């Protein structure tokens, strides 16, 4: 979860500096690290970003432990991260970056709540 917090902080700082594509990318990584923390509690260590999305869906969304909106948040963020990092003509706006950061913050908060509830965090 520390990695999730660091990436969220980086996304926020990049947003403040007007570096919206980089903020979008780091917001995705914030969500990704939170999902990895959840998966680690089950002994799962995804080998890819797509694998993390799949395992999150199977282990946490379909099981009812996490709201399906967080799967949508992660999937959208993953798609946008690829465009932010590799899309030569893609320029994210301040509103886009703010939405990604807000989604990441919500997913991180929900993950932290579940981790505390299940005794993984104090």
> Looking at domain 2-117, does it have CATH number 3.40.50.720?
no
Domain boundaries, the chain: 2-117
The whole-number average pLDDT for the span 98-118 is 98
Predicted model pTM: 0.95
What are the two backbone dihedrals, phi and then psi, of residue 18, each rounded to the nearest 5 degrees? 80, 15
- pLDDT at 122 exceeding the cut of 90: no
């Amino acid at each position: 979860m520390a990695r999730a917090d660091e990436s969220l902080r980086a996304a926020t700082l990049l947003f403040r500096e007007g570096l919206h594509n980089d903020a979008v990318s780091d917001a995705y990584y914030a969500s990704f690290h939170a999902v990895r923390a959840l998966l680690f509690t089950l002994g799962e260590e995804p080998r890819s970003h797509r694998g993390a999305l799949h395992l999150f869906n199977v282990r946490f969304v379909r099981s009812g432990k996490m709201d399906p909106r967080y799967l949508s948040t992660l999937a959208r963020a993953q798609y946008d991260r690829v465009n932010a990092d590799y899309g030569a003509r893609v320029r994210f706006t301040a509103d886009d970056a703010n939405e990604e950061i807000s989604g990441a913050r919500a997913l991180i908060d929900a993950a932290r709540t579940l981790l505390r509830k299940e005794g993984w965090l104090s």
